[in-house]
Structures are given as structure tokens and as C-alpha cells.
Amino acid sequence: MTELLLILIAYLIGSIPTAVWVSKGFFGIDIRDYGSGNAGATNTFRTLGSRWGSFVMACDVLKGVIATSLYIFLPQYLGHEATFERTNLMVGLGLAAVAGHIFPVWASFRGGKGVATLFGMVLAIQPVVALCCVGVFLLVLYLTRFVSLSSILASVAFAVFILFIFNEEEPLYRAFAISVALLVILTHQKNIGRILKGSESKVPILKYRDRKREKRKRD
């Protein structure tokens, strides 16, 4: 019963619609009426700029970390002998937060795609793997400036890290890693289509680098 209560709280934490509150509170608009229509960091980057996009992303990651760490309120999950049970509970708490982000009760159940909150969940469970995924995300973002493509490849890298490089033994966590990759690819189908068509928006970062490239082409 206590675990179910924590999962409900995790869902409510994940439901905090950071992008919606920022867009309405500081700009007088609903972020869901612009760009891709999603209430997430990627659309905030495109619509409100890199500063607010970074803020929303940080908050959404924090939601995942806090929700997944709620297990600390249950003493029976704190001992070394409860590692397996703790991981299972953390996965449940994290997924509840991701579900809250995608279907936020505080914002008419219209949220984002949950990638940043999902990353916060992984960061709480396995920080080293999470940091490796950050490396993949930043590298792809630097090369392409597509947040969507960066998220997709980072999620695929997560599965590769868990299954092959770190060789995680727990079946539930291995299944979770595969599910994450499939879920992110599934929720980014429209982005994949736009990338293939060449119509996907790039985030407004590294403008100086792009201007230099354009100048070289002209010269």
C-alpha cells in the first residue's frame, strides 16, 4: 500500500508541466499552441530559446530524479540485501513520473514526450550509464542541432550500454532498457519523418559555428 502511494506521488511530481507554466507565466502563451505542440524541453528550445529550453530540461530531469528517489522513505529498501527490490521499485517510480510528464494531471493530460524525465530516472538508478548517454546526446546535438535525433540515439545507446557494455544482469532492467529505446523511437516518429524530409527545426544553439560555416561556403 505504501509503495502504491509513492508511485502516485511520483506520478504527480512527473505531472508538473514545467514548459506550460514557464510559457504562460513569462510569455503569456501556451507552449502547446506552438511548434510541435508538445510541452517539453525540445519545443521550448525551439519556441522560447536556449535559456528557457535549458531551464525546462533541467526541471524535467529533476522531476525524474526526485520521483525515482522516493524509495528512501521506505526503510526496508535501504539495505544492501534489498538491491533487487529497490531497483524494481525505482523503475516503477520513474515510469510513473514519465507517465505523469506525458499525461500531466495538472495540464489537461497534454504533456511532452518524457525524454528528460526518463533521463532523470536513469540518473537516479545508474548515474554512470546516464552520463554516458549524456555524452552521446551532446555529441549528436553538437553535430546536428536536432534535439529529437539526439534523444533517439541517446536512448538507443542506453539499451546498448545496459545490454552489452555494462552487461546488467537483472532481467527487468534489461527489458526496461529495450523498452526505453522503443518508446523514444515510437514517440518521435513525426520527428523522424521531418528529419528525413529536411523540415525538422534545429535548436538555436551554436549559431556562431553555423555562421562561420555559411561564410566559408560563400567564400
DSSP states of 145-170: --HHHHHHHHHHHHHHIIIIIS----
Cα separation, 104 vs 106, whole angstroms? 5
Q: Which of 90, 93, 89, 109 is nearest to 101 (CA)?
A: 109
pTM: 0.83
Report DSSP state, residue 28.
S
Across 109-137, b (16+ Cβ under 10 Å) vs e yields eebbbbbbbbbbbbbbbbeebbebbbebb
Q: Are 122 and 133 in contact (CB under 8 A)?
A: yes
**Per-residue pLDDT tens digits of the chain, which is 219 residues long:** 699 999 999 999 999 999 999 999 999 999 999 988 999 988 998 899 889 999 999 999 999 999 999 999 999 998 887 888 898 899 999 999 999 999 999 999 999 989 899 999 999 999 999 999 999 999 998 899 888 899 999 999 999 999 999 888 878 888 989 998 998 898 889 889 999 999 988 876 665 555 555 556 665
**Measured CA distances, 111 to 20, 28, 65, 83, 214 (Å):** 8, 18, 18, 32, 36
Q: Are 44 and 22 in contact (CB under 8 A)?
A: yes
3-state secondary structure 35-46: CCCCCCHHHHHH
Residue with cell 546535438: 141
